[in-house]
Amino acid sequence: MENTKGEFFRDVVAAIERAGRKLCVLRGYRDYPEYIGPDIDAIFDDPDQLPRILAEQKVATVVQVFEHETTFYYLCRWDDGRPVFITLDLSEDYEHRGRVFFRGEEFLRSCRRYKFFNVPSAEMEFASYLIRKVAQGSLGEEQGRRLTGLFLENPAGSTKLLARFFPEAEVALIAEAARSGEWEPVRNRIKHLRRTMLGKADREQPLGALRYWLGVLRRRVKRITQPPGLMIAFLGTDGSGKSTIMARVEQDLGPAFWEKKQYHKRPLSSPFRWTRRYGLRPPGAGKRKGAPEAATGFNPHALPSRGVAYSLAKLGFWWADFMLLGYAAKIFPQLTRPSLLMFDRYYHDLLVDPRRYHYGGSMRLARFVGRFVPQPHLVILLDAPPEVLRARKQELPLGEVTRQREAYLELVRDLPNGHMVDTSRPLDEAAAAVERIILDYMAERTARRMGL
């Protein structure tokens, strides 16, 4: 019986074929559609058309496109109130580091039907899979058995394709290993086979290496100018459900990202953490003498605000934390990859609740400094009636909870990237509302970047 991802993939394949295009799944398809792994490797005749095809036929939304040596298309659709993802790893030709071993049309012209989708002919799959393993310099037992099975389906065709990439002696060695199932002689000479194969490709395609490195440079520049990562700040008073919602978002949207990371307030746990890291400030420094244990524990309002001079110095450290030590050194490098970075509170919190941070300086100055703090892609306020918030967490009096809630609402209303979600409703509904905000933003960003 097909699972949800299998049904999703079936619909994607049908949409592509209705549009008159061809998709050929390269490998790992024997358990499809019952089990589909992290990504589906395939040759597609025109990958740039995929978002348009799926959108026009209302089959899926492309929420992320990430260019590596191949291009990853992250597809999403909703099923019973939860997002479902599949990732297509697409290329037009079969290549390795700029060396084209097979044109895509060779795969698409000779592909055969497997269940409801196309796969390579036995000889094409044998040759391409062998090239991949030789280029990687490794060939395991299971991979050897798979190669033998493919070779025996068409020994003559497989041997003929090998002759395009290896000299006669090496072709005989590989063919005998494939025929007998004894791959140890190939493993013993795999480094030699790799040098021979890549050297032949370099002689026949002298500009392949240059084309590859120019592609690497172009992709790196694009990742800096159009970072594929996503940075989200979750705001709300204590009891609004930030930790619960963030955990659910990480679980549900995880398949659309390579990395997931949660932060509390800032990229660094304290604006003074760097001083302790380099031995400039001993552990425990900053704790007020004689302060009761409750004041250093859970209650954020247990201590009064600091003086103006200290507050201004702390504001400067906060800016350095967010901008230099946090964002430039830690956050932005992660955003150049498909990463999901979520903040439980952010700089905005200082403007709503300065007492939590013992800040006693000018709020006008704090707002001015906030203009120079890197802004998240999305700011999501998790809201609920004051009585609900107070019932969930009782550290603050109802009056303060009400004041903070109104201040958060006013702040988020003025943010162009601000959104509000009611978390007094059931968790599934609240989480789905947050996830729709995130996925809609990703889909719109992807469409804009692709010129759709």
Q: Is 5 helix (H, G, I), strand (E, B) or coil?
A: helix
Strands (E), 222-294: 230-235, 259-264
What long-range pairs does 63-68 form, CB within 8 A, spacing at least 24?
Answer: 63/256, 63/439, 63/442, 63/443, 63/446, 64/228, 64/256, 64/257, 64/338, 64/442, 64/446, 65/228, 65/446, 65/449, 65/450, 66/228, 66/338, 67/219, 67/222, 68/219
- Count how many Cα atoms sit within 13 Å of the Cα of residue 76 in the half-sphere of its side chain: 24
Pair 202, 99: CB distance under 8 Å: yes
Peptide bond into 374 cis (omega under 30): no
CATH of the domain at 343: 3.40.50.300
Q: Are residues 205 and 234 in the same domain?
A: no
Q: How far apart are CA 334 and CA 346, in angstroms?
A: 18
Q: Are residues 50 and 197 in the same domain?
A: yes
Q: How far apart are CA 391 and CA 402, in angstroms?
A: 13
Q: Are residues 286 and 317 in the same domain?
A: yes
Q: Are residues 235 and 156 in the same domain?
A: no
What's the confidence (pLDDT) of residue 1?
A: 39
427-449 vs 242-253: helix axis angle to the nearest 10?
A: 50
What's the confidence (pLDDT) of residue 357?
A: 82
Number of structural domains the chain divides into: 2
b/e per residue, 123-148, with b = 16+ CB within 10 A?
bbbbbbbbbbbbbeeebeeebbebbb
Q: Are residues 137 and 270 in the same domain?
A: no
Q: Please provide the distance, in angstroms rounded to a whole number, between the alpha carbons at the two ends of the chain.
A: 36
Q: Which tokens is 423 given?
A: 């978390």
> Of the candidates 166, 190, 221, which is a domain's last residue?
221
Q: If you ran DSSP here, which 8-state letter would residue 49 be given?
A: G
Q: How far apart are CA 350 and CA 266, in angstroms?
A: 11
What's the confidence (pLDDT) of residue 314?
A: 81
What's the confidence (pLDDT) of residue 312?
A: 86
Q: Is 419 helix (H, G, I), strand (E, B) or coil?
A: strand
Q: Are residues 333 and 294 in the same domain?
A: yes
Pair 273, 368: CB distance under 8 Å: no
What residue type is assigned to position 219 of the chain? R
Successive 10-residue mean pLDDT values, the chain, 452 residues: 84 96 94 92 92 94 92 95 95 92 94 96 96 94 95 96 95 96 96 95 91 92 95 94 95 95 68 46 45 47 74 84 82 94 91 86 89 93 94 89 94 95 95 97 94 82
> Of the candidates 204, 221, 238, which is a domain's last residue?
221
What long-range pairs does 429-435 form, CB within 8 A, spacing at least 24?
Answer: 429/81, 430/241, 430/245, 430/382, 431/245, 431/248, 431/249, 431/252, 432/81, 432/82, 434/245, 434/249, 434/380, 434/382, 435/83, 435/249, 435/252, 435/253
Q: Are residues 189 and 283 in the same domain?
A: no
What's the confidence (pLDDT) of residue 287?
A: 47
Q: In which domain, by residue range, is 33 found? A: 4-221
- Is the entire prediction scored with pTM above 0.85? yes
Q: Are residues 51 and 35 in the same domain?
A: yes
Q: Are residues 187 and 273 in the same domain?
A: no
What's the confidence (pLDDT) of residue 323?
A: 81
Phi, psi for 282 (deg, rounded to 5): -70, 155
Which stretches within 288-426 are classed as H helix? 308-320, 332-335, 348-352, 363-370, 386-392, 398-413
Q: Are residues 181 and 208 in the same domain?
A: yes
Q: Are residues 418 and 363 in the same domain?
A: yes
CA proximity to 256, closest of 87, 88, 435, 58: 87
Pair 340, 250: CB distance under 8 Å: yes
Q: How far apart are CA 186 and CA 139, in angstroms?
A: 9
Q: How far apart are CA 75 and CA 63, in angstroms?
A: 6
Q: Are residues 69 and 214 in the same domain?
A: yes
> Of the candidates 203, 221, 239, which is a domain's last residue?
221
